[in-house]
A and B are shown apart, each in its own frame.
Chain A
Amino acid sequence: MNLDTDILEKIMPTIKNSHQQHSLQNAINIGFPTMKQEEWKYTYYNKILQQGFSFKTAEHTQTSSITKEFIDANATSSNRIVFINGIFHNEFSSLVNHPKINFWNSNNATESNTVEFLVEINNALSTDGIFLEIGDHVIVDEPIEIFYLSDNNQAIINLKNKIIVGKNAQVKFAEYAINTQQAPTYNNIVTSINVAENANVEFYKIQDGGAGFYSTDNTFVQQAAKSVCNITTLSLSGEIIRNVLQFDINGERAAAHMNGLYLLQQNEHVDNRTLVNHNVANCESFELYKGILGGTSTGVFNGKIVVKQAAQKTNAFQSNRNLMLSNDANIYTKPQLEIFADDVKCSHGATSSQIEDSELFYLQARGIGKTTARGLLVFAFGEEIVEMIKPEALKIRMEKRIAELLNIEF
């Protein structure tokens, strides 16, 4: 056993729930992620720990300076679920009143036996999280916005969410991670989403924590027949962000869509891993991740599509495109296909390039200054993802924010 896991051994006595003890023991057995592991080849997890975050459960007594006004200013919907420093805040939250929508704040501790260190840590240490049921046939018009706010929190924020969307139901989510102070904060969030037959789910993850923001996110989606699930991940600012997104498509004629945009500056680091398991026939998955890399930043993309033998007539498309703005940026991309069925149409692609001189010249020839022209082209590169955001207010907000980050004006 290496020295690192000693800190986990020490907190064992503070864990009351036996399932959670079991999870902690699993985490200890798995050990901390290292770059020797294929899954962590390009991301140095220790760098997060070096910020001095502590492994412990959230203290419900602590106070924060975050106000309702701040939340209002950042919200686009009246459906809100607010967590501050890992604790659910009922007074800031509101949800449409419907007999078939059930919400609890719950850690929902269950026995877990994954091989994911971070999932086990989450299971062991989370106290709060969303447990949300959207009943059959329920259509939620306004997006449900989830806020992960933090101001000066030294403990790792572990939140565990479970979302169950019933048959024929339709719902949209927008998740914001915002760090209001510059002090380091680290979110370790696990979300599982069950999408029943013919249901339609859109989920937007907006990671904009800025300096001192660290995030590891694991999202697991289970899809039943004819369902559609669309997850868009926008990583706009933060020190180290790692997203694991896994789809299990278990019913025929289901469609999974994954879109992502990572906008990296300075020495920011974003690691996106996606896995789509096509377990049954006649489904499709579509994946487009785009990266804009400046400064000395590092982007990692690892997309994997697995088509099981039963999954005939699968249509899977995956693409990762990277725009390198700086000569000191790094991109590591690995689009993977694992195909065990023969009657399938699968393709993937990956590119890395800079702005084409010809495009730049074209804009210049129309009288647009070089800096503006460059800005417009970079923005346009990212816009392909942003324009797929369906809620109009959110889309406009994201466009503005990206323009701001890219330092361009409209």
Chain B
Amino acid sequence: MNEQDAILDEVVNSEYKYGFVTNIEQEQAPKGLNEDIIRFISAKKEEPEWMLEWRLKAYREWLKMTEPKWANVHYPKVDFQDVIYYSAPKPKKELSSLDEVDPELLKTFEKLGISLDEQKRLSGVAVDVVFDSVSVKTTFQEALKERGIIFCSMSEAIRNHSDLVKKYIGTVVPQKDNFYAALNSAVFSDGSFCYIPKGVRCPMELSTYFRINSAGSGQFERTLLIADEGAYVSYLEGCTAPQRDENQLHAAVVELIALDNAEIKYSTVQNWYPGDKEGKGGIYNFVTKRGICKGNNAKISWTQVETGSAVTWKYPSCILAGDNSIGEFYSVAVTNHYQQADTGTKMIHIGKNTKSRIVSKGISAGKSQNSYRGLVKIHKKAENARNFSQCDSLLMGDQCGAHTFPYIEVSNNNSKVEHEATTSKIGEDMLFYFQQRGIDEETAVAMIVNGFCKEVMDHLPMEFAVEARKLLEISLEGSVG
């Protein structure tokens, strides 16, 4: 075994650090899905009638749909009747301060590295935590309220800001958009809602942590984020799940709406349980994320660091409807062991002078398969549209695969589209160069991987960048770093 193999071997044997289970009493819906379950969820959430109808409509559409098969991922068929669609920590009551949060839950957050108190005191990040299906605690609500910013759980928004939710929900990702989006629309149990009023720059990073805890349950959160004219917000989400032998389903929907001159920066560090080194267990992460630059000069920027999940199916997209609007997608996707990721973005140029930039870095190790799938579509009316895409793949070991499926569709002559992609491995010459400067191979690999991802990492907010770098290290190696 040469050294590189040895390092890879160590990688293979590194453990998932977030794989603990929190013993908290749960209130659950029975397994399976039917209209009664949806009524149960809606009733639990004390939702208005229109919301229930909206869910039921989605459910009826979903029944007519079939699971998409086109992605470059393979997994046993999901039995949608074997999933718990609602699971909440008990007792469920409104919490007015962190002191009232179940101490077990607080311990969980400590383990996750999110101490809510810490966050509150030091970093000035407002956090909403979604534990299994419900939002547990949102910090900083008051401070935000002063500026007219609404940042709360989706359930709360449906109750207290019904008109806003009703106006925007499903406008970017319609109920019948795709199989998983329809499922989510029917059964979503919570998520985050955020509204930034006209001209307001959100003074702090808004953050949501998602965690699946109980066995057999799926997580179906729904996030809706609206930046009104001239508003700015930077939003972060992080995800973890315990280690379990079975596969668990996560089908989220995120909708972003940016009006005239608004800017939304959406960052994700996804670290759902990826399954063990034999490929057993892990989260199926089937997510629909889409933003619309509805107004002129609007900007939506997606940044993602994807290290977790057994199977990922995810394409955060931008519809650039407003003139001069900008869409960005910066992604690092790491797969190891038997993980499979099919991820990328869609940039739909409709408005004039719209610009988009795609930077995707895929790293495959072990026996994993990592695919970039993207669409750049320039409509005829999108005069002078510009796109630049760069998709690079790094392969570590000869058992893995890296794939690129970029679709480019251009329907006018004054736009410019450029796509470039490369595939490479960490060259022996490069490793030797590091070693000749006294840096051992393990450290060298970590530095090279971080260098490979730098352009994406640079787009993460500072607080997240450190965590993301750590995650990369944990995902790819035992002690690299």
Contacts and interface: CB of A to CB of B under 8 A. Distances in A.
Query: Do chains A and B directly touch (beta carbons under 8 Å) in the complex?
Result: yes
Interface in B382-410: 393, 395-410
Interface stretch (B151-159, B192-200, B272-280, B411-419): B411-419
A327 B404 contact: no
Contacts of B409: 330-333
Interface in A173-187: none
B421 A348 contact: yes
A336 B404 CA distance: 5
- Of A342, A343, A344, A347, most B-chain CB atoms within 10 Å: A342
A352 interface: yes
A350 B374 CA distance: 13
A328 B410 CA distance: 10
Contacts of B398: 309, 312, 341-343
A373 B8 CA distance: 57
Nearest to A347: B422
B36 interface: no
B380 interface: yes
B402 A352 contact: no
B255 to A, nearest CB: 27
A351 interface: yes
A324 B419 CA distance: 16
Interface in A331-380: 331-354
What secondary structure prevails in chain A residues at the interface with B?
strand
A349 B418 CA distance: 7
Contacts of A338: 401, 403-404
Given A337-B404, A339-B393, A331 B410 contact: yes
Contacts of B395: 339, 341-342, 344
Nearest to B371: A338
Nearest to B414: A354
A409 interface: no
Given A324-B410, A336-B405, A351 B397 contact: no
Nearest to A338: B403
A322 B414 contact: no
A15 interface: no
Contact of A348 (B378, B404, B416): B404
Interface in A193-250: none
A330 B411 contact: yes
A38 interface: yes
A324 B416 CA distance: 10
A77 interface: no
B406 A350 contact: yes
B404 to A, nearest CB: 4
Given A339-B402, A343-B398, A322 B410 contact: yes
A325 B413 contact: yes
A335 B421 CA distance: 9
B448 to A, nearest CB: 14
Contacts of B416: 351-354
Contacts of B406: 334-336, 350
Nearest to A351: B418
Interface in B4-60: none
A326 interface: yes
Nearest to A353: B416
Contacts of A345: 423-424
A125 interface: no
Contact of B401 (A328, A332, A339, A346): A339
A337 B402 contact: yes
B419 A335 contact: yes
A353 B410 CA distance: 9
Contacts of A347: 420-423
A247 B399 CA distance: 24
A329 interface: yes
B421 A337 contact: yes
Contacts of B424: 344-345
A333 B418 contact: no
A292 to B, nearest CB: 11
Contacts of A312: 398
A344 B423 contact: yes
Nearest to B411: A330
A235 to B, nearest CB: 19
B410 A349 contact: no
B396 A350 contact: no
Given A336-B404, A337-B403, A339-B401, A351 B419 contact: yes
Nearest to A331: B410
B75 interface: no
B90 interface: no
A342 B404 contact: no
Contacts of A333: 407-409
Contacts of B425: 342-344
Contact of B413 (A324, A332, A343): A324
B468 to A, nearest CB: 24
A351 B417 contact: yes
Contacts of B423: 337, 339, 344-347
Contacts of B70: 38
A353 B417 contact: yes
A356 to B, nearest CB: 10
Contact of B419 (A293, A326, A328, A349): A349
Contact of B405 (A324, A334, A340): A334
A340 B399 CA distance: 7
A327 B414 contact: yes
A352 B421 contact: no
A324 B412 contact: yes
Nearest to B377: A332
Contacts of A344: 395, 423-425
Contacts of B414: 327, 354
B121 to A, nearest CB: 46
B210 to A, nearest CB: 32
A331 B408 contact: yes
A335 B400 CA distance: 20
Given A334-B408, A340-B401, A343-B425, A350 B413 contact: no
Contacts of B380: 327-328
A207 to B, nearest CB: 23
A332 B407 contact: yes
A42 B101 CA distance: 56
A346 B424 CA distance: 7
A265 B460 CA distance: 46
Nearest to A332: B409
A370 B411 CA distance: 25
B245 to A, nearest CB: 28
A341 B421 CA distance: 16
Interface string B220-248: 00000000000000000000000000000
Contacts of B378: 352
Contacts of B419: 335, 348-351
10 contacts: A309-B399, A312-B398, A327-B413, A329-B413, A334-B407, A336-B405, A337-B421, A339-B402, A339-B403, A347-B423
The 10 closest A-B pairs by CB, nearest first: A324-B413, A342-B395, A346-B423, A337-B404, A352-B410, A350-B419, A352-B417, A342-B425, A347-B422, A353-B416
Interface of A: 38, 293, 309, 312, 322, 324-354
Interface of B: 70, 378, 380, 393, 395-425
Given A324-B410, A336-B405, A339-B402, 17 more contacts: A324-B415, A334-B408, A338-B401, A339-B393, A341-B398, A342-B396, A343-B425, A346-B423, A347-B420, A350-B418, A350-B419, A351-B418, A352-B410, A353-B415, A353-B416, A353-B417, A354-B413
